[in-house]
Structure 1
Amino acid sequence: MRVDVRALGACNRLAERGAKQAAGALSELTGTDLAVEVTGASVASGADLAEAFSGRESIGVSVGLRGGLEGEAVLAFDAAHADALLSLLPGGQAMERSAVTEVGNIALGGFLDGWANYLGTAIDMTPPRYFEADGAAVLPDGALAGDGVFLFESRLDATATDLDFSIYMLPDSGPFRDLIVGRTATGAGPSGHEGERTAIPYESLSTFASLAKRGSTNAADNIAMMTGLDTSVDVSRLRFVPLADVPAEVGTEPNAGTVFELRGQPSGYLAILFDEQSAAAIADAMLPMETDEPLGDMAQNALCELGNVMTSGFIDGWANVLGTSISHSPPEFVHDLGASTVSPLVAKLSERQDYGFVIDAAIRTEGVQARCDIYALPDERELAAALQRLSGA
């Protein structure tokens, strides 16, 4: 099967539209404004999903889908925010289970309306099932069994109270794959970008998701070698998101780090971003002496050197598996609000594509409280071509 990433983009827009309908329904029910933060499609193995959800405690509702689309859909609240949710609902604490079930039923119904309209057919929901779950138990049975599964994830946020939550949809392979199989040779994206359809063999897409994990592990190993600090990768996933949403994902907190332009097959951009405190801590661990400026010239040079070896570790695995050559530019140090560091990269890629594959990874060091996020933005068409060659297609 060949996945047409433009068709996958259309599905992603449906998920975003459905999330907005769910937000509207919940706003009316709770009397508080809700906004959709981001919607993206992930391709991940069961093991990666288990790691991504590790440590979470959730309450919510799940439903089975039948008819025009088959699979499962889940509405999940962070258990820590349950009181905030219940305070907005009729019955409050005394009606926890039934209130949450009703919220889930309304929100998921709104979410699926857009899909049903697009497909021109009804999507039936099974009766909602209330759950309290730890970790990946929030996902439907069987979700962790596959080597590569699609997961649509929408995050919603209440503007006036601490009430963020997520909607997950895991479509079954049959009807959903019919939607995303490439059928035509050429066409335009939603912003009018003309060009060859980027139809990628599904197996290769799953392979590249595994490469994202391997590259992140290599980058973490290089940190450990340079700093002597035990370093681990929390999670790495390949996600398909509108490029316009990437700055919102990075957030508005100040960040410091390095940005690289990738050259070869695929080209693109890679950003390694630390929050300010983490950047100062990791630079201090690398320097032989204390400095008066936490992010002065010496610290910047140290972070640039670290970025160099991390980037090499990240892309070397890609090049070996894809059978291509990939190099990178000298590091550009950045220190700004998170969204501002990636907006120029998104603007350049947006000239030729509307969506992007984002590889995100969180790397932690022990002994020094430091965390960094890696955002890799490869060129969509070049990535497709490399993955097609990988499969022999």
Structure 2
Amino acid sequence: MRVDVRALGACNRLAERGAEQAAGALSELTGTDLTVEVTGASVASGEDLAEAFAGRESIGVTVGLRGGLEGEAVLAFDAANVDGLLSLLPGGQSMGHSAVTEVGNIALGGFLDGWANYLGKAIDMTPPRYLEADGAAVLPDGALAGDGVFLFESRLDAIGTDLDFSIYMLPDSGPFRDLIVGRTAPAAAAGGGNGGGTDRTVVPYESLSTFASLAKRGSANAADNIGMMTGLDTSVEVSRLRFVPLADVPMEVGREPHAGTVFELQGELSGYLAILFNEASAASVAGAMLPMEPDEPLGDMAENALCELGNVMTSGFIDGWANVLGTSISHSPPEFVHDIGAATVSPLVAKLSERQDYGFVIDAAIETEGIQARCDVYALPDERELAMALENLSSK
């Protein structure tokens, strides 16, 4: 199967539009303004999704989908916030499970309306089922099976409260496959997201799944490099490949101050890679690397240490990619950044947006024990070059 990247982008826009309708329905029910924070499609194995969702306790509603789109959809929120939700609903405290079920039924109905309108076919929902789940058990049935799945994920942010929601949809093959399968020329002839024309970027699904596994392997290599450099036990908490609108990436990084390094990737696979710590983590890991206490937590000495660390981490990421893809990838010298998180990645997104609207984002959280340091890694490859590399990989 060949995934048409533009068609996948259209499906992502449908999911985002559906999430906006769900947010509107929830806003009316709860009297709380909600906005769509981000919508994207994860490409990950069941094992990686299980790791990504570990430690969460969720309450929500699940429905089966039939007709124009088949699969399963879930509305979920943090179990600790159930009392807060019930307090916002008329009679919610006395209705309990039934109130939550009705909320999910209305929100998911709004989410699916946009898909049905686009497809020109009705999408029937099975009766809503209340659920309480630990970890990845909140995900639709089938999400943890197989080598890789497309899992659409939307996060709804409730302004001024902790009552945030997530919507997960796992479409079955069949109607969804017909939507995203590329039927045109191979990736090497593809045009960019903003370039117009009729060319399409198509990616072999099997190779895309392989690259998703490479994301985790690269994260593990980077963590090993940190451990060798600092002597501290380091582990990868989460690593998966997501297909998201580039415009949403700065919002994901957030408004908190971050420090770290940015690299431009060069060679047959170009793009950008950002390694970002929150300020406290950046100061902690830099201090662990230095032979003496720095004069300033994030002064020149810490900057040099973080740049050196960024170099070895980036090498850990791209060496594995280059070997498997059979191509050459190098990187620029590290550029130190210390700013609001969104401001650190906005210039990268702006450059890529000249050629494409969406991107395959590799995100990872790497934790260093003892000093509670955590960093997030955002890899933003050029869509066309990634497609070409994956096309070559599938032909070997």
**TM-score of Structure 1 vs Structure 2, range by shorter chain:** over 0.9
What is the aligned partner in structure 2 of residue 36 from structure 1?
36
Distance 1:314 1:338, change over 3 A: same
Give percent identity, aligned residues only.
Answer: 87
Tell me the TM-score normalised to structure 2 length: 0.97
Q: Which residue of 2 aligns with 1:249?
A: 252
What residue number does 1:78 align with?
78
Q: Is the 8 A contact 2:140 2:168 kept in 1?
A: no
Kept after mapping to 2: 8 A contact 1:227/1:286: yes
Q: Is the 8 A contact 1:224 1:230 kept in 2?
A: yes
Alignment partner of 1:295 out of 291, 294, 298: 298
Alpha-carbon shift at residue 188 of structure 1 (Å): 7.4
CA contact (8 A) 2:194 2:355 kept: no
Alignment correspondent of 1:171? 171
What is the alpha-carbon distance in structure 2 between the residues aligned to residue 211 and residue 108 of structure 1? 34
Give the Cα–Cα distance (whole angstroms) in 2 for the partners of residues 333 and 192 of structure 1.
32
Query: Which residue of structure 2 aligns with residue 278 of structure 1?
Result: 281
2:333 to 298, 310, 330: 330
Q: Matched residue of 1:324: which SS? A: coil
Distance in 1 between the 2:193 and 2:15 partners?
15
User: What residue in structure 2 maps to residue 66 of structure 1?
Assistant: 66
Q: Is the 8 A contact 2:193 2:358 kept in 1?
A: no
Please give the alpha-carbon distance, in whole angstroms, between the structure 2 residues aligned to 1:387 and 1:199: 10
Equivalent residue pairs, number:
393
- Does the aligned pair in 2 maintain the 1:59–1:79 contact within 8 Å? yes
Equivalent residue of 2:174, what SS? Answer: helix
Deviation at 1:184, TM superposition (A): 3.4
Matched to 2:325, the amino acid is L
Partner Cα distance (1:305, 1:7) in 2: 40
Task: Tell me the equivalent position of 2:4.
Answer: 4
Q: Distance in 1 between matches of 2:203 and 2:195?
A: 21
CA distance in 2, matches of 1:142, 1:37: 25
Asked if structure 2 preserves the Cα contact closer than 8 Å seen for 1:90 and 1:99, the reply is no
Q: Aligned to 2:361, which of 358, 365, 369?
A: 358
The SS at the match of 1:260 is strand
Contact kept in structure 2, 1:258 and 1:331, CA below 8 Å: yes
Residue 180 of structure 1 corresponds to 180
Residue of structure 2 in register with 1:24 after alignment: 24
Q: 1:263 aligns with which of 263, 266, 281?
A: 266
CA contact (8 A) 1:259 1:333 kept: yes
1:51-130 aligned at under 5 Å gives the runs 51-130=51-130
Distance 1:331 1:189 in 2: 27
1:138 maps to 138
Q: Which structure 1 segments of 5+ residues have no match?
A: none
Partner of 2:386: 383
Q: Quick check: 1:225 aligned with 2:228?
A: yes
| Other structure's SS at 1:266 match | coil
Give a deviation string over 1:117-169, Cα, whole Å, max 9, x none: 11110100000000111011112333211111010000001113211110000
Amino acid at match of 2:391: Q
Aligned equivalents of 1:259 and 1:247: distance in 2? Answer: 14
Residue 368 of structure 1 is matched in structure 2 by: 371
Q: Aligned to 1:221, what secondary structure does the other structure show?
A: helix
Q: Spell out, residue by residue over 1:352-391, the C-alpha distance to the aligned partner (whole angstroms, 9 max, x if none).
A: 1110000000000100110000000000000000000000
C-alpha separation between the residues in 1 aligned to 2:192 and 2:316? Answer: 33
Match of 1:239 in 2: 242
Alignment partner of 1:292: what SS? coil
Partners of 2:7 and 2:316 in 1: CA distance: 32
Q: Which among 197, 200, 208 is matched to residue 197 of structure 1?
A: 200
Where structure 2 has 5 or more consecutive residues not aligned to the other structure, the ranges are none
Separation of aligned partners in 2, 1:188 and 1:368: 46
CA distance in 1, matches of 2:294, 2:312: 23
Matched to 1:98, the amino acid is S
Measured after TM superposition, the shift of residue 225 of structure 1 is 0.4
Measured in 1, the distance between the counterparts of 2:331 and 2:192 equals 28
Change (3 A) 1:190 1:375: closer
Alignment root-mean-square deviation, CA: 1.3
* Structure 1 residue 265: Cα displacement: 2.1
SS of the equivalent of 1:278 reads helix
Q: Comparing 137-146 with 43-52, which one deviates more in the overlay?
A: 137-146
Shift of 1:189: 7.0
Sort the Cα spacing of 1:309 and 1:251 in 2 relative to 1 into closer, same or farther, 3 A: same
Mapped pair 1:319 → 2:322? yes
Distance in 2 of aligned mates of 1:258 and 1:216 = 16
Distance (whole Å) between structure 2 residues aligned to residue 115 and residue 267 of structure 1: 34
